[in-house]
Amino acid sequence: MTEQLRPVAPVPRLGLRCGEAADALGVSREFFADRIAHEIPCVRRGSLKLYPVSAIERWLAGNARRLADDLAAAP
C-alpha cells in the first residue's frame, strides 16, 4: 500500500530582500534602492536587509492615497 502525500501549502513570506521588494512593486532594483527603500523600515542583520511585506503594503497604500489627494487638489 502506498502512502498518499498531502499537498504542502507554501509558507507566506513576511519579509522580502531588496530585489524581491522591487519585483513585488514592479520597479527596478536601482529605482527601489534610490527612491523607495529609505521610506520603508527594514530589519538589518549583518549585510541582510528584510523589508516587511506589511510595511511595503502600507507604503504603497499611503502613496496611492497621496497621489489621489494631489490630483483632487489640482486646479
C-alpha cell at 71: 490630483
61: in domain:
yes
Domain count, the chain: 1
Say yes or no to pLDDT of 18 above 70.
yes
Residue 15 near residue 50, CB atoms below 8 Å: yes
The residue segments making up the domain with residue 54 are: 15-73
pLDDT digits (tens, 9 = 90+) for 26-37: 999 999 999 999
Q: What is the DSSP letter of 35?
A: I
4: in domain:
no
25: in domain:
yes
Please state whether the predicted TM-score (pTM) of the whole model is above 0.85. no
